[in-house]
Amino acid sequence: MSSLARPTHGRMIGGVCAALARRFGTSAGTMRVLFLLSCLLPGPQFVLYLALWVLLPSEEVAARRSW
């Protein structure tokens, strides 16, 4: 498993689904479909997505921090 960071390539909006897909070893498309299906259920899914977008570093920032 890789570290949790938003990729610079292969992301659609914020890169949150792509980061989660990379972390858990699935495709980004699968993670996006799961997110859209979860939005049909009651809960704070959209707020969680926005929070992860703000809190997760991009790959560039994470690479600079690891030096």
Q: Which domain holds residue 27?
A: 16-66
Report pLDDT for 2.
Answer: 59
Q: Is residue 8 part of a domain?
A: no
Q: Is residue 7 part of a domain?
A: no
Q: Is residue 21 part of a domain?
A: yes
| pTM for this entry | 0.80
Q: Is residue 42 part of a domain?
A: yes
Q: Please write the tens of the pLDDT for every residue from 22-63.
A: 999 999 999 999 999 999 999 999 999 999 999 998 887 777
Q: Are 3 and 57 in contact (CB under 8 A)?
A: no
Number of structural domains the chain divides into? 1
Q: Are 62 and 4 in contact (CB under 8 A)?
A: no
Start-to-end Cα distance in the chain:
20
